[in-house]
Amino acid sequence: MAEHLARISPVTDLGMIALRGDLAAIADAAGMAAPDRTGIATDGPRSLAWMSPDEALLILPAPQTPEAVEALTLALDGQHALVADVSDARAVFDVIGPGAADVIAKLAPVDAAAMPQGHLRRTRMAQVATAIWRIEGGFRVIGFRSTGDYLGLILRNAAIAGSGLAPR
């Protein structure tokens, strides 16, 4: 049996709401601190991720998503804003273990070992658009559901020690 650098686990219990507009207004409507540029602000089970100068991603427990969409839509009424539930359009994986940074480094031009807590990195993993940030014991990776099977496969392959994919 091959030795693994990290454990790759799909995450299926998350809701995700894409928000576009004024980030301060979005953070206020979400009841969270606005994330720094390329940051992710976490408050309990909810996180607000900076995706671009006018876009954030609210990540929360899946059962809270419909109520949050309704509350955010009401809170942002009258403003130039978009609130969209994108939960079904995303695939999420946790990369956990002592070699988690090496797994990320095999697939993306990211010095994952140097990524600070609270920093979100948008990048590509083997040409798949992803967002990556630190979680307890490793990293969380989000990609599009349409590439989810492939993303899971490349993460699992990169997690095999001696797989021939050299860390960068």
The domain that contains 115 carries what CATH number? 3.30.1360.120
Tell me whether residue 25 is exposed, middle or buried, using C-beta atoms within 10 angstroms of its C-beta: 0 to 12, 13 to 18, 19 or more: middle
Q: Do 68 and 127 lie in a common domain?
A: no
Q: Do 100 and 141 lie in a common domain?
A: yes
Of residues 168 and 114, which shows the higher confidence score? Answer: 114
18 domain residue, yes or no:
yes
Domain encompassing residue 127: 7-11+89-158
The pLDDT value given to residue 163? 56
Question: What does the alpha-carbon distance between residue 65 and residue 76 come to, in Å, rounded to a whole number?
Answer: 16
Q: Do 75 and 100 lie in a common domain?
A: no
Q: Given the structure tokens 């070699």, which residue do they identify?
A: 99
Residue 1 has pLDDT above 50, yes or no: no
Average of pLDDT values for 63-86? 96
Pairing of strands 120-125, 55-61: unpaired
Residue 158 amino acid letter: A
Identify the band that residue 155 occupies on the pLDDT scale cut at 50, 70 and 90: very high
Q: How many domains does the chain have?
A: 2
Q: Do 82 and 123 lie in a common domain?
A: no
- CATH (domain of 46): 3.30.70.1520
Q: Who contacts 58 (Cβ-Cβ below 8 Å, separation ≥6)? A: 16, 17, 19, 30, 32, 46, 47, 48, 49, 68, 72
Residue 23 has pLDDT above 80, yes or no: yes
The pLDDT value given to residue 168? 45
Residue 162 has pLDDT above 90, yes or no: no
Average of pLDDT values for 31-48? 93
26 domain residue, yes or no:
yes
Contact 72, 27 (CB under 8 A): no
Contact 16, 46 (CB under 8 A): no
168 domain residue, yes or no:
no
Secondary structure element (H or E) that encloses residue 74, with its range = helix 65-75
21 domain residue, yes or no:
yes
Last residue of a domain, one of 36, 69, 87: 87
Instruction: Indicate the SS3 state at residue 3.
Output: coil
Average of pLDDT values for 127-137? 95
Last residue of a domain, one of 54, 87, 120: 87
